[in-house]
Amino acid sequence: MYTANQLLMLYVESPLHTGSGRGAGVVDLPIQRERMTGYPMVQGSGIKGCLRANARGKTSNGDLELLFGPETEKASEHAGALAVGDARLLLFPVRSLAGVFAYTTSVDALERFRRAAQALGLSFDWKLPASGPDENKAWVNGNALQVDEVVVLEEFAFEVDESQKEQLGKLGQWLQKALPTLGEYWKNALSSHLCVLPDDAFRDFTQFATEVQTHIKLNPDTKTVEKGALFTSEALPTDSILYAPLMASAARKKDVKKSAEDMLKMYGDLNIGRVQLGGDETTGQGWVTLASVPAPKKEEKRP
């Protein structure tokens, strides 16, 4: 049973391609997406594998196995104490006419985030109306994104609604604390460039405003594209923010007496703050900053 929890925040620093195999659409190599919503996501197995790879050399093989489980040939001996859930989308960057870009989200995405965080024992002091902004309107925090009372994202204009400015300010402050290693500019932008869109508009941006990159392979003699070597791949844009549950149980190896809190502390001592995740590793992409938000400790019951 998992009794110690943290919320893992992921800030994408360069285009991130977490592949889902060959696509049937116009993009040859699409990214992973939720089946129901179509939002981009990163499967927990990929994150856990990345954490394990980054933990090698930072701790003993014994502690590595306690956290992540033994290698394949010994996998039947015991499971690892650490569990990582799928990373879901919280904020999605979209090009803006003013302010360069906006950190967009929706009430649907925010409430999914709240539900996941509450399951880990976290709570928030911000609360937005469940109905969300009216059609063709956007909740913003300040005027950083505004042009003549509208917000222009890509080629779409949304009427500004500042009715939730106070709540968005609280959300921005929480994000600043949850991502402490970001520079001052980015921390300020997390608050001033927040933009809550209607659910359908946000979904459409997440489906059609990702990065699509073209890859080729040249013939070394003719310097022309080799036959069959032209393909496209999709990537989650830089400055996307995701979250994933990070849970721990007591050590599962026989005769090892370590609590779930001990295992989370062991993970924290690894100081894994920046990783390279997903595909396209050799092209310098997939850099992600990680930050853990601890769940409050449960008060001990007194007799």
Residue pair 302/13 in contact by the 8 Å Cβ criterion: no
CB atoms within 10 A of CB 56: 10
301 has a pLDDT exceeding 50: no
pLDDT at 227: 80
pLDDT at 298: 61
> How many angstroms separate the CA atoms of 244 and 22, rounded?
25
Q: Looking at per-residue confidence, does 145 or 24 come out higher?
A: 145
Taking residues 294-298, report their average pLDDT. Answer: 78
170 has a pLDDT exceeding 50: yes
Percentage of residues in the chain with pLDDT exceeding 90? 79
For β-strands 241-248 and 87-95, DSSP reports them as antiparallel
Q: Name the band, by pLDDT with cuts 50, 70 and 90, for residue 296.
A: confident
Span 203-258, pLDDT tens digits: 999 999 999 988 888 888 888 878 877 888 999 999 999 999 999 999 999 989 99
302 has a pLDDT exceeding 60: no
Domain boundaries defined on the chain: 1-18+44-85+237-303, 92-209
Residue pair 110/128 in contact by the 8 Å Cβ criterion: yes
Give the residues across from 89 on adjacent strands. 242
pLDDT at 24: 61
192 has a pLDDT exceeding 70: yes
279 has a pLDDT exceeding 90: no
Span 24-66, pLDDT tens digits: 677 889 999 999 999 999 999 999 999 999 999 898 999 999 9
pLDDT at 230: 84
Give the three-class secondary structure for 129: coil
- The CATH class for the domain spanning 1-18+44-85+237-303 reads alpha beta
Residue pair 211/205 in contact by the 8 Å Cβ criterion: no
Q: State the pTM of this model.
A: 0.92
pLDDT at 42: 97
> How many angstroms separate the CA atoms of 220 and 222, rounded?
6
Among candidate residues 181, 177, 202, 204, the one with its CA nearest the CA of residue 191: 177
Task: Report DSSP state, residue 81.
Answer: S
Q: Name the band, by pLDDT with cuts 50, 70 and 90, for residue 300.
A: very low
